[in-house]
C-alpha cells in the first residue's frame, strides 16, 4: 500500500530565508509523487510532480523537490520564502492501479513572517 508522512505539521520561516518541508513516502512500486498547495478559501494547486524522470523536479513559484529512493523522501524546498508562500502544503503519492487515485499526507502549514 502507498502512503506519505509529512514530518512537520507546522513550519515557520522569515521572509527571504530558505523553506524546507519534509515528506517520506512508502510505495510497493515506483511511485508518482506530487506536492500540492492550498491557500485559504482556494482550491488545491499542483506545485510539482515526479514521474520517474529527473530526480530533481522544478515547480512553480521557485519551489523544487528531490526524489531520493534510498531515503524514500521527497522534500520540498525553496531558496527564499515570500509572504505569499504562506499556505498549507500536501505531499501526495499516486495510489496506482492504472489510474491516479491520490493519497495525501496530513499537510504542513507554512507561516512566513516579515
Residue 48 DSSP code: E
Q: Which of 24, 62, 66, 104 binds another protein (CB under 8 A)?
A: 104
> Cβ closer to another protein: 15 or 24?
24
Residue 106 beta carbon to another protein: minimum distance, rounded to whole angstroms: 5
Beta bridge partners of 110: 11, 87
Q: Which stretch binds another protein (CB under 8 A): 15-23, 56-64, 73-81, 96-104?
A: 96-104
Residues 6+ apart with CB under 8 A from 101: 94, 95
Q: Which of 1, 42, 70, 114 binds another protein (CB under 8 A)?
A: 42
29 binds another protein (CB under 8 A): no
For another protein, what does the binding mask look like between residues 51 and 80, x meaning CB under 8 A? x-----------------------------
What is the Cα 102 distance to its own chain's centre? 13
Residue 107 DSSP code: -
Are residues 9 and 108 in contact, defined by beta-carbon separation less than 8 angstroms?
yes
Work out whether strand 33-38 and strand 102-104 pair parallel, antiparallel, or are unpaired.
unpaired
Q: Which stretch binds another protein (CB under 8 A): 18-26, 67-75, 76-84, 105-113?
A: 105-113
Amino acid at each position: 500500500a502507498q502512503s506519505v508522512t509529512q514530518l512537520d505539521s507546522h513550519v515557520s520561516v522569515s521572509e527571504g530565508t530558505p523553506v524546507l518541508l519534509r515528506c517520506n513516502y512508502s510505495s510497493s512500486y515506483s511511485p508518482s509523487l506530487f506536492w500540492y498547495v492550498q491557500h485559504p478559501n482556494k482550491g488545491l494547486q499542483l506545485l510539482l510532480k515526479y514521474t520517474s524522470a529527473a530526480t530533481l523536479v522544478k515547480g512553480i513559484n521557485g519551489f523544487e523537490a528531490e526524489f531520493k529512493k534510498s531515503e524514500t523522501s521527497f522534500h520540498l524546498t525553496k531558496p527564499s520564502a515570500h509572504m505569499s508562500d504562506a499556505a498549507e502544503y500536501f505531499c501526495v503519492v499516486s495510489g496506482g492501479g492504472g489510474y491516479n487515485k491520490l493519497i495525501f499526507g496530513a499537510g504542513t502549514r507554512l507561516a512566513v513572517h516579515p
